[in-house]
């Protein structure tokens, strides 16, 4: 027999399959590797954690798993449960296990007439398939099986949750210890390489929803802005006779007009366009610009237009301008606390049911609104008198000069 060791990591691609249940392991999903060395040939078999159950009489400790320390706390807990034998085993994807358990009555949807049928449908599916449903609907997919089932049931009954309307990138989830409040945990900013907290809160019943997709349908295509849809039927004749570099430059400008979020660095953007043009070549080796444009729009999707709505319509301008200010600060790499503070204040302002007539009053002791400090209050007073505020104009000018 050979030597054996264990590792754990987030899947680097979506190409590996679980040795036990044969279902593909999604990119960035937690996977357990069992490495065997026979006569100096190293073989790694990958498993879903719940498929990597320990054999009777074999002791396992978290420290044996290479990569354990780099995991997120909730994923370390999964490996701890695997070692202690507390992690629920998943049956093969080919033989879904139908639970005889009655549907939990503490679920937020337990009173819904369609609850029992939806619960029976999803509880019978193995974890990888539940995650495929959540992935197809752009939902968070962490937690134990019960949490995944609950999320899928909610989606089946009400539709999928959209991205956060405040920061536009975070995925909404049910707030800890509540059944009916949604929060945005924030998102990882690729440009700044930091986690951005958000602070958005809303009642689940008031959230807009998207049609629920099946696992087979896969993720929804990016809905490009109307300009992008028109631009996708671009005039290929504009590209005739252009050198590869000129064609790439032309595609960059067409893609940007269509809303593609290409890099602001011209060389990087040109390389992306050139790559898309090369990949679009037909049998005769001629690039197809319309195909290349669709490729760029899929890879660099237009920014979602967030529906930031104030509870009182009279406060809409304040909410919109503070949102623009926070977005510009983030884009220009301003201090993270300023960005997060403005967004937190804006969440509180969105929730106000009355018309704001004084910013100062929102920060004053007797009429204090949680999250609104003196600096936001003075910006609101500027908006109420001039329709904008100096700091925002300064940010707009700096962004325009980029």
Of 271, 299, 327, which residue constitutes the final position of a domain? 299
Q: Are residues 251 and 289 in contact, defined by beta-carbon separation less than 8 angstroms?
A: yes
Q: Are residues 94 and 22 in contact, defined by beta-carbon separation less than 8 angstroms?
A: yes
Is residue 109 in some structural domain?
no
Query: How far apart are alpha carbons 223 and 298 in whole angstroms?
Result: 9
Q: Are residues 175 and 203 in contact, defined by beta-carbon separation less than 8 angstroms?
A: no
Looking at the structure, do residues 249 and 290 belong to the same domain, yes or no? yes
- How confident is the model at residue 337, as a pLDDT? 80
Which CATH number is 12's domain given?
3.30.1740.10
Interior angle at CA 199, CA 196 and CA 201, nearest 5: 145
Which CATH number is 371's domain given?
1.10.150.110
Q: Is 20 left (phi over 0), alpha (psi -120 to 50) or beta?
A: alpha
Closest CA to 363 of 380, 350, 347: 380
Query: How far apart are alpha carbons 24 and 46 in whole angstroms?
Result: 10
Looking at the structure, do residues 120 and 196 belong to the same domain, yes or no? yes
- How confident is the model at residue 66, as a pLDDT? 92
Q: Are residues 139 and 160 in contact, defined by beta-carbon separation less than 8 angstroms?
A: yes
Is residue 53 in some structural domain?
yes
What does DSSP assign to residue 188? E
| Diameter over CA atoms, the chain | 80
3 state SS of 1 = coil
Query: How far apart are alpha carbons 276 and 268 in whole angstroms?
Result: 13
Is residue 216 in some structural domain?
no
Is residue 105 in some structural domain?
no
Q: Are residues 255 and 293 in contact, defined by beta-carbon separation less than 8 angstroms?
A: yes
Of 299, 334, 362, which residue constitutes the final position of a domain? 299
Looking at the structure, do residues 294 and 322 belong to the same domain, yes or no? no
How many separate domains does the chain show? 4
Q: Are residues 63 and 26 in contact, defined by beta-carbon separation less than 8 angstroms?
A: no
Query: How far apart are alpha carbons 37 and 44 in whole angstroms?
Result: 9
The string of DSSP letters for 259-293 reads T----SSHHHHHHHHHHHHHHT--TTS---HHHHH
Looking at the structure, do residues 80 and 137 belong to the same domain, yes or no? no
What does DSSP assign to residue 15? -
Please report where in the chains the tokens 């940007």 appear, as a residue.
256
Looking at the structure, do residues 183 and 261 belong to the same domain, yes or no? no
Query: pLDDT per position in the chain (402 positions), as tens?
Result: 567 889 999 998 888 888 888 888 888 899 999 988 877 787 889 999 988 877 777 788 999 999 999 898 889 999 998 888 888 765 544 444 444 467 888 888 888 999 999 999 999 999 989 999 998 898 988 888 999 999 999 999 999 998 888 777 888 988 887 778 899 888 877 666 677 778 788 888 878 888 898 888 777 764 433 333 344 457 778 888 889 999 999 999 888 887 777 877 888 889 999 999 999 888 888 888 888 888 888 777 766 544 567 888 899 999 999 999 988 988 888 877 888 889 889 888 988 889 999 999 999 988 899 889 999 999 999 999 999 999 999 999 998 887
Is residue 96 in some structural domain?
no
Query: How far apart are alpha carbons 48 and 11 in whole angstroms?
Result: 10
Is residue 103 in some structural domain?
no
Looking at the structure, do residues 12 and 77 belong to the same domain, yes or no? yes
Looking at the structure, do residues 32 and 56 belong to the same domain, yes or no? yes
Token pair, residue 144, equals 């134990």
**Does pTM top 0.85 for this prediction?**
no
Q: Are residues 119 and 155 in contact, defined by beta-carbon separation less than 8 angstroms?
A: no
Looking at the structure, do residues 174 and 254 belong to the same domain, yes or no? no
Is residue 107 in some structural domain?
no
Expressed as residue numbers, the domain containing 320 is: 313-400
Is residue 151 in some structural domain?
yes
- How confident is the model at residue 315, as a pLDDT? 93
């Amino acid at each position: 027999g050979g030597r054996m060791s264990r590792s754990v990591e987030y899947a680097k691609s979506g190409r590996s399959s679980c040795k036990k249940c044969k279902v593909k392991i999604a990119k960035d999903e937690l996977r357990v590797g069992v490495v065997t060395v026979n006569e100096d040939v190293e073989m790694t078999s990958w498993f879903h954690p719940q498929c990597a159950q320990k054999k009777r009489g074999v002791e396992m400790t978290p420290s044996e798993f290479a990569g354990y320390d780099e995991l997120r706390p909730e994923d370390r807990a999964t490996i701890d449960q695997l070692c202690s034998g507390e992690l629920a085993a998943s049956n093969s994807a080919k033989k879904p296990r139908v639970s005889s358990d009655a549907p939990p009555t503490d679920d937020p949807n337990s009173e819904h007439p369609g609850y029992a049928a939806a619960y029976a449908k999803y509880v019978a599916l193995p974890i990888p398939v539940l995650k495929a449903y959540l992935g197809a609907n752009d939902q968070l997919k962490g937690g134990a099986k019960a949490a995944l089932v609950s999320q899928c049931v909610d989606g089946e009954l009400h539709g999928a949750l959209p991205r956060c309307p405040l920061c536009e990138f975070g995925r909404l989830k049910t707030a800890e210890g509540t059944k009916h409040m949604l929060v945005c945990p924030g998102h990882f900013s690729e440009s700044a390489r930091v986690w951005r907290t958000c602070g958005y809160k809303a009642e689940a019943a008031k959230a807009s929803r998207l049609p629920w997709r099946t696992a087979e349908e896969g993720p929804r295509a990016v809905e490009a802005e109307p300009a992008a849809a028109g631009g996708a039927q671009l005039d290929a004749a504009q590209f005739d006779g252009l050198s590869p570099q000129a064609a790439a430059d032309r595609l960059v400008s067409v893609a940007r007009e269509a809303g593609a979020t290409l890099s602001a660095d011209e060389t990087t953007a040109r390389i992306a366009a050139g790559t898309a043009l090369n990949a679009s070549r037909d049998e005769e080796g001629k690039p197809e610009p319309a195909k290349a444009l669709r490729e760029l729009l899929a890879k660099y999707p237009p920014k979602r237009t967030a529906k930031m709505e104030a509870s009182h319509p009279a406060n809409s301008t304040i909410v919109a301008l503070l949102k623009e200010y926070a977005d510009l600060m983030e884009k220009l790499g301003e201090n993270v606390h300023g960005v997060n503070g403005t967004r937190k204040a804006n969440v509180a302002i969105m929730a106000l049911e009355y018309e704001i007539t004084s910013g100062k009053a929102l920060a004053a002791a007797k009429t204090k609104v949680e999250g609104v400090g003196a600096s936001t209050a003075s910006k609101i007073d500027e908006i109420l008198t001039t329709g904008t505020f100096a700091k925002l104009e300064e940010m707009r000018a700096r962004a325009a000069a980029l």
